[in-house]
Every structure is written in structure tokens, then in C-alpha cells.
């Protein structure tokens, strides 16, 4: 384990000699994206990372400086049911009672719109982002002629009837390893647009339409751009085969609108030995 040095003594001008050992843990969190400007800390907006760092800082003391990383970065308004992050915490406090540690974190998060619902100790070389080989999202659409008071901030309201069969037929063209330039936003900073899309499935239950998506990684706005195009097919704007033309054309301008952020959920992060959903409900 790597050590954290003790407090700085201004009178003596050096760090006090006592050491506090670190423990790396992973936490599974859910959050309401409507309350945040995405995951990553910003200078002028409240983010999930800031909420988590503040909560752990309060639990461990103001001189604590936790190291964080997340399986993925979510945009403003995007939700999560099973986002996985790793953090460095004081080993003595963690080992004393993991249960109490999580209760303490959730106490400090109670008004923030974040909840920790799973935690596990890992080795200090584990990395939430770089060790993750598959990320999963779900997009929710409320498909009814009138909107919903209850779901207006949790799903995209599409009032036109959607053809689920045609949406699934068009989704088939995107499965596998492709250049997804057509579905990346202009602000995307990824060096390459090739991704391996493993799952893209559309299903309907009542007025809810859900789109499950899984890939090794995603480009900026990739899921929301794909969803917008699937909806255009479902409305009858294009035939399913046109999805192949869009993919081959590598031109974002000719695809459909970007689906709104509030319908998107980060639902799982997959690792060699476990997933975020595996850890949900686990403490230890």
C-alpha cells in the first residue's frame, strides 16, 4: 500500500513523520443527473466527482486528498444506476467498519442526489477506467401521445408512434467493430473513432421503450446520437438499410438529432473479475 504523509508542521518546516496507510476501494454509485453538470469536477459547476470528493473529505478529515477515477464520464443531465469509481481511503478507518464507512458517506451525500450502494476493497493497482473493458448504458423513451408528469426528467418523450421492429433491424447494422465518426459529436477528443459495439437492442413495455447499449468504450455523445437516429427510423423517416449508408458516410451532419441527456443511464462497468452490478449491495 502507498502511504499518505502526515500533516505539515509550519513551525518545524517539514512533514511530521507518522504515516497513514491507504486502502484502494471501489464504490458503486447511482445519481440523478438532473442535479449535476456531469461527472468530472469543474471550476464553475457542481459535478458528481465534486460531491463524492467532498463527502469522503468530510468523512476522513479536511487534510484528506482522495484520488478518484470513474469507469466513464457522463455529460450534464445523464443519470447512473451502477457507476463504478475507485478511491484511496485511510486503511484504518476503512478496516474498522466498511459498513459504517458507507453509512457515513451516504449521510454526507444525502442532499446531493448521489447514493453509494456497493463497495469492495481492491488491490492498489486497480483502475476504474483503464481496467474496464465494457461499459453499458440504457436509454429510456416515453412513447405516448401525451407526456408524463412522473417521467418527464427520466425519459425522452416521443409522441409519434415508433416501429420497434424497424429500429431493431437498423440497430443490427451498427453491431461489431466500426468507425463511428457519423455518431460522434464535434467536441469529441478521442484520437480514433473505431469502437466495438457489442449490444444494441430496442424493446418496449407499455409506454416505455428502452434501448440497451454496450461497447468497449464510447465516443462523445455516441449513444445519444445513435438513439436519435434509431428514433428517426422508428418514425419512418428512413428505412433500416439507410443505417449502413450513414455508418459508411462518416458524416455527422447527415444523421439525426442528438437524443436529450435526461433519457440516458450508465448501467454497468465490466472488469475481468467482477462488474459494478455484481458489487451492488456488497460491503467489504
State the catalytic residues.
75
HSE (side-chain half, CA atoms, 13 Å) at 11: 1
**How far does the chain reach from its first CA to its final CA, in angstroms?**
17
Cα torsion through 259, 261, 264, 269, rounded to 10: 120
**Residue 249 corresponds to which cell in the numbers above?**
458516410
How long a stretch of residues is the chain? Answer: 284
Spatial contact of 162 and 209, defined as CB atoms under 8 Å apart: yes
**Residue 255 corresponds to which cell in the numbers above?**
444523421
Spatial contact of 29 and 106, defined as CB atoms under 8 Å apart: no
DSSP 49-89: HHHHHHHHHHHH-TT----EEES--PPTT-EEEEEEEEEEE
Residue 257 DSSP class: P
Q: Cβ-count burial of 242 within 10 angstroms (0-12 exposed, 13-18 middle, 19+ buried)?
A: middle
Amino acid at each position: 500500500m502507498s502511504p499518505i504523509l502526515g500533516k505539515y508542521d509550519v513551525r518545524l518546516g517539514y512533514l511530521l513523520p507518522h504515516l497513514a496507510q491507504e486502502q484502494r476501494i471501489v464504490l458503486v454509485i447511482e445519481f440523478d443527473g438532473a442535479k449535476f453538470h456531469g461527472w468530472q469536477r469543474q471550476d464553475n459547476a457542481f459535478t458528481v466527482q465534486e460531491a463524492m470528493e467532498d463527502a469522503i473529505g468530510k468523512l476522513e478529515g479536511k487534510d484528506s486528498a482522495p484520488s478518484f477515477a470513474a469507469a466513464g464520464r457522463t455529460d450534464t443531465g445523464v443519470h447512473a444506476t451502477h457507476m463504478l469509481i475507485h478511491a484511496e481511503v485511510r486503511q484504518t478507518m476503512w478496516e474498522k467498519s466498511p459498513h459504517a464507512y458507507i453509512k457515513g458517506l451516504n449521510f454526507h451525500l444525502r442532499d446531493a442526489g448521489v447514493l453509494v450502494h456497493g463497495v469492495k476493497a481492491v488491490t492498489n493497482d486497480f483502475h476504474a477506467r483503464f481496467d474496464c473493458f465494457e461499459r453499458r448504458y440504457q436509454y429510456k423513451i416515453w412513447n405516448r401521445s401525451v407526456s408524463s408528469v412522473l417521467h418527464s426528467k427520466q425519459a425522452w418523450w416521443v409522441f409519434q408512434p415508433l416501429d420497434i421492429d424497424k429500429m431493431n433491424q437498423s440497430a443490427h447494422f451498427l453491431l461489431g467493430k466500426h468507425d463511428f465518426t457519423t455518431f460522434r459529436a464535434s467536441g469529441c477528443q478521442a484520437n480514433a473513432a473505431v469502437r466495438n459495439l457489442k449490444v444494441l437492442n430496442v424493446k418496449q413495455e407499455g409506454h416505455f421503450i428502452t434501448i440497451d447499449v454496450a461497447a468497449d468504450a464510447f465516443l462523445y455523445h455516441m449513444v445519444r446520437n445513435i438513439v436519435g437516429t434509431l428514433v428517426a427510423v422508428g418514425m419512418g423517416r428512413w428505412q433500416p438499410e439507410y443505417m449502413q449508408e450513414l455508418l459508411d458516410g462518416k458524416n455527422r451532419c447527415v444523421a439525426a438529432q442528438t437524443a436529450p441527456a435526461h433519457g440516458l443511464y450508465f448501467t454497468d462497468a465490466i472488469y475481468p473479475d467482477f462488474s459494478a452490478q455484481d458489487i451492488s449491495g456488497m460491503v467489504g
